[in-house]
C-alpha cells in the first residue's frame, strides 16, 4: 500500500476487474450484450469516473496465473470478481494469494454468481448457497442504509427490468452492514448488498449481474460499483500475517528468569 | 439432530473430544501430565457433569478417518478440537466433513493451538495468527461477560500458574461475543474466549491448554469446558445446504408466462 | 434467575405479554378481532404450548406501573411488547426498569409498531424509523436461517394475506442475526426478524401484527412467538450492573506501594 | 455534510473537542498539567496535523447549550467527548441533538470517563460500566488490528507510565472492531479501543485519559486521536431520519385498488 493510501484523492485507486470470460466465448447471446467481455464492460463503467479516480485493468481466467500474478495483486487496491461456470478451474494457489492480499488490506467486490467462487467461500467460511430462478423477472434493489458510501446517488431503490432471481436463505455469516435487499417480482427477497471485513480487507458482495442481461450497462449498477470500489480501497497499512515468537529475553526479568519451556 | 434437541435436558449432549495425540506419544513430560492422552483428560473433565448431561467419546488423528467418520459426526452434538504439531496431517476430506456438520448445527470448541487447525482457519476465513512465548508464566483469564452461560461459576477472573503466552494481534474476524480476555505476567493480552456462529453451528475458541502444563486438570478450565459444551449444543434443526432452482412454474403466473432464460 | 435456568425443561418459562391496550378500547374493528385485547390473544397463543413450557401473564399500560412492577419483572424470564398509539405515555422510570432487567438477562420480544417504543429505541440507540403503508396487502415472510431456533417448524416462507407494509430503510444497528425478511405485494422489503444481545438479554424484533388484521391468530405467527419466547429465555446468571472500585490494597504489592492518586 | 465529504483531502475535517472543564477549574494538580484545560490540550494535539487536515474548535459544558448549538453541530464532522464529574449536568436536549447528528453521519470519539456520559450510554443502549482503580500504575495499550487506520504509526503496543486502571467487564454491546486492549500492571485487562457504527455515524471509544496524568500530552495518544478523527469523518451523505408513509396511490394498481385500511 502506498504511503498516501489514506488519502484517496492523491492517486487513483488501482482496480483490477477479474472476469471468468467463459460465457462470452460460448454464447452469442452473451457476446451480443458484452462484445468485449463482461470484465471490460465492468471496467469501462469504472473508467467513467475519470482516470484520476480509478486506474483500471482487467484479468481473466485464461491468462497465465489467471492474470493475478504477485506483481498484479501487489499493485491492486481493489479486486472485482465475476465468475460462474468455471469456479473449479481457478487454481488454489491463486485463491490463497488473493485471500492473503485481502487480509493485508486489498478490497474485494464479489459479483452475482461469484457467491460460489472459491475466494468468496474461503473468506466467508460458509457454503454461500442460495435459491435461484431464471425467468427474466423484475428486481427492485432497496437501500437499507441511505447514507452509506456505497449507496450514494441511489434513490430509495432502483429497478432492473430483467434479472435472474436469487432468494434466501443466503448461507453467509451475518454481514457487518446490510446495504441493499432485493425484491423480486416472483415473490422472493435477497440480501443483495452486504459488507464484511476480514483482516484489513473490506469485502462487498453485490448480487445483480446475470450474464444474459445487460445489467452492467445499467446506470445504477455502474454507480454502485464506482461507490463500492472507492469504499473498498485500503485505508490503513498492510497487515503482514505472522505468528512471531516473542523471545523470553525480552520479557520482564522475573519471567525471563524462569527460562524456556521443557518442550 | 434429534427431535428433542431443543430440550437439552431430555437426553445427554453427545460430545466428541478430538485429540491430535502426538505430543503424548513423543514426550515423557507430556505423558507424565496426561498419561491417557490429553483427549482423555478433557473427556474425563466433561464426564464429571454426569452421564445424564454429557455422553462423551474421543477420537484421534491416528484412527481411520481420524476417528471422525460420517457416522461419528452424525452422532456428535459438540466437537472439541485440540491439535498442534500435526495440523497438516488432517485430511482435507475430513475438514470438509467437519465444516459441513458445523454449518448444519454441530457445536465446535477449538482449544489453544487449535487456532492454527485447518478447521478453525476454514471457518474463520482468516490466518488466525498470534504471537507467543513459552516461559511458563502466569495467566489471568478475565471474564468480559459475567452472565454468559460459558462463564457460569467463574469468578471475576481465574489464574493459571504456568502457561504458554499467546498475544495480540489475533487474526480473527470480530467475535460475536467476547467472553474472556487473558492478562499475562510478561505483559501481553489475548482474546482468550471468543464466540462466532457459522451456519447453525456455534463456535467457541478457548485459549488455555499448552501440552506441557496440567491445564486440563484445572477446575476452572474444566468448568469452562462443561459450560461451553452445554452452550454449543445444537438448538434448532439442521441447515441442509443446497442451492435449489425454484421452478418457473411455481412462480406467479405473470412470471411463468415469460418462460425460462435463453441461457 | 433461578438456579436451574440453564435447563429450560425443568420449570416453565415465565412470560409477560405487555399490551398497550388502546386500540382495542377505541375501535370496534380491533375489538372484533381481539375481543379480549391483543395481549390476551398473544398470551393464549403461547399457552397452547402447555403450562409446562410457558407460564404466561399479561400486563397493560393502564395498570399501576403499567403492570410492570419490580416484582413482576423479577419473575419474568421473557417480556413481549406490543405498543403503537401511546408510546409517550410509558413512564421513563418503567423504561429504565425494563432496560435494566434486559441487561441482567431477561429476554425481550418487540412486536410490530413496538419498533418506536421507548424501550426498543433505548436498547438500540438509533431512531428505529422505517417507511410504511396501510393497504392490507400480502406479506411473505422469508426464512433467512432455516435452522435457527426461532424459525423451527416454519417452511421456506409463510404468508399473511393482509398486513400493513413496513419498508426499508429500518434505522437499526446491524442485527446479530437475520432470521426473517419480508416481501410485500406492493414492492417493498423489510428486515422482519432480527436479533441482538444487550448485556445478557436476548432481543428479538418481529414485524407482523398490525391491529386491524387477525395476525396474532395466524398459526405461523403463533409458532414464531413460541419459538422466540423459548429462544429468549435467560441462559446464564444475572449481570448485576456495577462500576466497582478495586481497592489498591488488593493490587500486587508494587502497585499498592504507589499509594492512591492525588485526586 | 459537504458535497466533497467523500474526499477527505479536499477540505479540512471539522473537529469539535468537547470538554467538561470541571476538574481543571477545581484542582490545581489538573490545572498544572492542563493549564488551558484538557479540551485545549486535545485540540492542540490534533492541530499538529496541520490546518489542511483538521479545522479544530472546542466547546465546554459551561457555554450556552454546552457550546453544542445546532449551528456548531451542523459544522462538525467529528465530535470528541471528554467528561467525568458532571455527566448529569449535560442537558437531555443537547444529548438528543448530538445523537441525531451521529445518526446522520457525524463521527464521535468518546474518551476515558466519557464511558459514563449520557451520549455514550444512549448510543450503546447498555450501562457501559467497568471496574477501576486509581493507583497511577503502568498501562500497556496493545494493538489488536495492526493495519487499522486508527492504529497507524503505533508499534505493537505503547505504554503510559501512570494511568488510572479500567478493568473488565465493560458493559458494552459487542464492538464492530477491536482496535486496542490494555494490560495493567496491577493485573487487569480492558477493551481500550472499540468501534461501532450507529446510523451513519462512526463511534470510537478510547480509554486513556485520566485527568491527573499528562496522558493527552503523550505522543502515541495524540497519534491515535489524529488517526481516529480522520477515520471517523463522514463518508456518505446524511441519513435524514424519517418514517414516511408511502401513499397507496403510488403502490401497484392491484394494491391501490384495495383502498386504505379501516383504521
What does the buried/exposed string (b/e) look like for C3-23 if buried means 16 or more CB atoms within 10 Å of the residue's CB? eebbebeeebbbbbbbbbbbb
Q: Find all residues with CB under 8 Å of C255, minimum gap 6, and list them.
A: C248, D135, D137, D185, D186
C-alpha R_g of chain D: 20
Residues of D with CB below 8 A from C133's CB?
245-248, 251
Look at residues D73, D203, D69 and name the one whose alpha carbon lies nearest to residue D125. Answer: D203
Place of cell 404468508: C159
The three-state DSSP-derived secondary structure of chain D is CCCCCCCCCCCCEEEEEEECCCHHHHCHHHHHHCCCCHHHHHHHHHHCCCCCCEEEEEEECCCHHHHCCHHHHHCCCEEEEECCCCHHHCCHHHHHHHHHHHHHCCEEEEEHHHHHCHHHHHHHCCCCCCEEEEEEEEEEEEECCCCCHHHCCCCCEEEEEEEEEEECCCCCCCCCEEEEEEEECCCCEEEEEEEEEECCEEEEEECCCCCCCCHHHCHHHHHHHHHHHHHCCCCCCCCCCCCCECCHHHCCHHHHCCCCCCC
User: What string of pLDDT tens digits covers the 263 residues of chain A?
Assistant: 333 344 445 799 999 999 999 999 999 999 999 999 999 999 999 999 999 999 999 999 999 999 999 999 999 999 999 999 999 999 999 999 999 999 999 999 999 999 999 999 999 999 999 999 999 999 999 999 999 999 999 999 999 999 999 999 999 999 999 999 999 999 999 999 999 999 999 999 999 999 999 999 999 999 999 999 999 999 988 877 888 998 876 666 666 555 444 34
What pLDDT score was predicted for residue D262?
Answer: 38
Per-residue pLDDT of C223-254, as tens digits, reads 999 999 999 999 988 887 888 998 876 666 66
Specify the length of chain A in residues: 263
Are C16 and C57 spatial neighbours (Cβ–Cβ below 8 Å)?
Answer: yes
Looking at every residue in chain C, the average pLDDT score rounds to: 92
Q: Are B199 and A130 an interchain contact pair (Cβ–Cβ within 8 Å)?
A: no
Cα torsion D144, D149, D150, D152 to 10°: value is: 80
pLDDT for position B258: 57
Give the separation between CA B186 and CA C228, rounded to whole angstroms.
Answer: 46
- The strand order across the sheet containing B131-143 reads B54-60, B13-19, B78-82, B107-111, B201-206, B189-198, B177-184, B131-143, B157-167
Q: Which residues contact A28 (CB under 8 A, 6 or more apart)?
A: none
Q: How many CB atoms lie within 10 A of CB D23?
A: 24
Instruction: Answer whether A263 sits within 8 Å of B185, measured CB to CB.
Output: no
- The answer to whether C189 contacts A142, with C-beta atoms less than 8 Å apart, is yes
CB contact under 8 A, D147 and A200: yes
pLDDT at B236 over 50: yes
pLDDT over 90 at D242, yes or no: no
Separation between Cα atoms, residue B227 and residue B241, nearest integer Å? 29
The model carries a pTM of: 0.95
3-state secondary structure of A217: helix
Closest CA to B130 of B159, B172, B88: B172
Q: How many residues does chain B have?
A: 263
Q: For residue range D161-183, list pLDDT tens digits in order.
A: 999 999 999 999 999 999 999 99
Cα C188–C222–C132 angle (5° rounding)? 25
Cell of D176: 464492530
Contact status of D199 with chain A (Cβ, < 8 Å)? yes
Count interface pairs A-C at CB distance under 8 A. Answer: 61
Helix count and strand count (H, E) for chain A: 8, 9
Instruction: Give the neighbours of chain D: at least 3 Cβ pairs within 8 Å.
Output: A, B, C
At C135 the three-state DSSP class reads strand
Q: Which pLDDT score is estimated for A241?
A: 80
Query: Looking at CA atoms only, how far is residue B251 from chain A in angstroms?
Result: 5
Helices and strands of chain D, counted as H and E runs: 8, 9
For B184, the enclosing helix (H) or strand (E) is strand B177-184
pLDDT for A158? 98
Portion 163-192 of C in contact with A at CB < 8 A: 167-170, 174-178, 181-184, 187-189, 191
Q: Which residue in A8, A147, A239 is closest to D147 by CB distance?
A: A239
Does the beta-carbon distance from D148 to A200 stay under 8 Å?
yes
Contact across the interface for A181 and C168, Cβ inside 8 Å: yes
Q: Would you state the pLDDT for residue D164?
A: 97
How far is residue D86's CA from residue D20's CA, in Å, rounded to a whole number?
7
Packing angle, helices D38-47 and D219-231, rounded to 10: 70
Is residue C147 within 8 A of residue B104, CB to CB? The reply is yes
Q: How far from C52 is each of B90, C9, C10, C11, CA to CA, in Å? A: 46, 8, 9, 7
Given this model, what pLDDT does residue D230 score? 97
Q: Do C8 and B8 touch (CB under 8 A)?
A: yes
Q: How far is CA A9 from CA A23, D5, D56, in A?
A: 36, 11, 22
Distance from A242 to chain B by nearest Cα, in Å?
A: 6
Euclidean distance between CA atoms D34 and D29, whole angstroms: 9
Whether the ω angle into residue C169 lies within 30 degrees of 0, i.e. cis, is yes
H-run or E-run covering D25 = helix D23-26
Rounded distance between C-alpha atoms, residue B180 and residue D72, angstroms: 41
- Rounded Cα distance, C210 and C233, in Å: 25
DSSP C236: S
Residues C191-217, mean pLDDT to the nearest whole number: 97
Considering only CA atoms, give the Rg of chain B.
Answer: 20
Cβ atoms B73, B98 nearer than 8 A? yes
Report the alpha-carbon angle C255-C257-C262, nearest 5: 85
Q: How many CA atoms lie within 13 A of B162 on its CB side?
A: 13
Residue with cell 435524514: D240
Please state the rounded mean pLDDT for residues C151-156: 96
B-chain CB neighbours of A197 within 8 Å are 173-174
- Least CB-CB distance to B7: which of C9, C105, C176? C9
Chain D CB contacts of B183 under 8 Å are 183-184, 187-189
- Please name the residue ranges forming H helices in chain A: 23-26, 28-33, 38-47, 70-74, 92-104, 118-124, 219-231, 253-256
d(CA B219, CA A53): 59
Q: Which three cell numbers stand for residue C65?
A: 406501573
At residue A125's C-alpha, the angle toward residues A119 and A128, to 5°, is 75
How far apart CA A95 and CA A84 sit, in angstroms, is 15
Q: What angle do CA B82, B84, B90 make, to 5 degrees?
A: 80
Alpha carbon distance A41, A98 (integer Å): 22
| Diameter over CA atoms, chain C | 74
Interface test with B, best of A243, A250, A257 (most B CBs within 10 A): A243
Distance from CA of B170 to the nearest CA of D (A): 7
| CB spacing of C171 vs D127 below 8 angstroms | no
Nearest one of B124, B17, B149 to B77, comparing CA atoms = B17
> Chain-wide mean pLDDT for chain B?
92
Q: d(Cα B211, Cα B27) in Å, to the nearest integer?
A: 10
What values do phi and psi take at C130, rounded to 5? -165, 175
The pLDDT, as a whole number, for residue C255 is 67
Report the alpha-carbon distance of residue C102 to residue C11 in Å, rounded: 20
Residues of B in contact with C7 (CB under 8 A): 8-9
All residues of chain A having their beta carbon less than 8 Å from the beta carbon of residue D176 are 176
- Selected residue of C155, C168, C193 to mutate for chain A interface (largest A Cβ count, 10 A): C168
Note which residues in 66-125 of chain B have CB less than 8 A from chain A.
Answer: 99, 103, 116, 122-125
B105/B5 Cα distance (integer angstroms): 11
**CA separation for the pair B140, D189 (Å, rounded):** 9
Which of C106, C147, C223 is the best residue to mutate to test the B interface, defined by the most B CB atoms within 10 Å of its own CB? C147
Averaged pLDDT score across all residues of chain D: 92
Does C237 lie at the interface with B, CB-CB under 8 angstroms? yes
Report the pLDDT averaged over residues B173-193: 97
Given a cut of 70, whether residue D251 has pLDDT beyond it is no
pLDDT, tens digit (0-9, with 9 covering 90-100), for B65-122 = 999 999 999 999 999 999 999 999 999 999 999 999 999 999 999 999 999 999 999 9
d(CA C236, CA C142): 31
* Best residue in C181, C195, C252 for a mutation probing chain A (most A CBs within 10 Å): C181
Number of H helices, E strands in chain B: 8, 9
Flag the least confident range among A231-235, A254-258, B34-38, D59-63: A254-258
DSSP-derived pairing of the beta strands C54-60 and B13-19:
unpaired
Three-class SS of residue C58?
A: strand
pLDDT at residue number D236: 84
Residue C196's pLDDT is 98
Of C9, C151, C239, the CB nearest to B146: C239
Shortest distance, CA B112 to any CA of chain A (angstroms): 14
Query: D69-78, D132-141, D224-233, D248-257 — which is least confidently predicted?
Result: D248-257
- Name the residue of chain D whose CA is nearest to A7's CA: D9
CA distance C108 to C199: 12
Residue B251 has pLDDT above 70, yes or no: no
Grid cell at residue B95: 475438514
Which set of grid coordinates corresponds to residue A154?
441511489
How far from chain centre, in Å, is Cα A229? Answer: 9
Cell numbers found for residue D97 = 441533538
Amino acid at each position: 500500500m502506498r504511503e498516501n493510501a489514506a488519502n484517496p484523492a492523491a492517486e487513483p485507486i488501482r482496480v483490477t476487474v477479474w472476469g471468468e470470460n467463459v460465457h462470452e466465448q460460448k454464447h452469442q447471446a452473451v457476446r451480443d450484450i458484452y462484445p468485449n467481455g463482461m470484465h471490460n464492460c465492468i471496467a469501462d463503467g469504472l473508467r467513467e469516473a475519470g482516470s484520476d479516480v480509478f486506474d483500471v485493468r482487467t484479468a481473466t481466467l485464461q491468462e497465465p496465473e489467471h492474470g493475478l500474478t504477485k506483481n498484479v495483486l501487489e499493485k491492486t487496491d481493489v479486486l472485482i470478481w465475476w465468475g460462474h461456470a468455471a469456479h473449479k478451474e481457478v487454481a488454489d494457489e491463486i485463491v490463497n494469494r488473493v485471500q492473503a492480499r485481502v487480509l493485508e488490506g486489498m478490497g474485494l467486490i464479489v459479483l452475482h454468481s461469484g457467491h460460489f467462487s472459491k475466494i468468496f467461500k474461503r473468506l466467508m467460511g460458509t457454503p454461500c448457497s442460495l435459491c435461484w430462478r431464471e425467468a427474466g423477472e423484475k428486481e427492485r434493489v432497496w437501500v437499507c442504509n441511505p447514507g452509506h458510501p456505497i449507496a450514494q446517488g441511489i434513490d430509495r431503490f432502483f429497478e432492473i427490468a430483467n434479472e435472474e432471481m436469487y432468494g434466501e436463505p443466503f448461507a453467509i455469516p451475518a454481514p457487518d452492514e446490510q446495504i441493499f435487499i432485493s425484491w423480486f417480482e416472483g415473490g422472493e427477497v435477497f440480501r443483495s448488498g452486504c459488507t464484511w471485513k476480514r483482516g484489513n480487507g473490506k469485502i462487498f458482495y453485490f448480487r445483480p449481474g446475470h450474464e444474459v442481461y445487460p445489467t452492467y450497462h445499467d446506470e445504477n449498477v455502474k454507480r454502485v460499483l464506482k461507490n463500492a470500489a472507492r469504499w473498498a480501497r485500503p485505508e490503513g497499512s498492510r497487515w503482514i500475517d505472522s505468528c512471531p515468537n516473542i523471545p523470553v529475553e525480552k520479557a520482564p526479568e522475573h519471567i525471563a528468569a524462569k527460562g524456556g519451556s521443557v518442550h
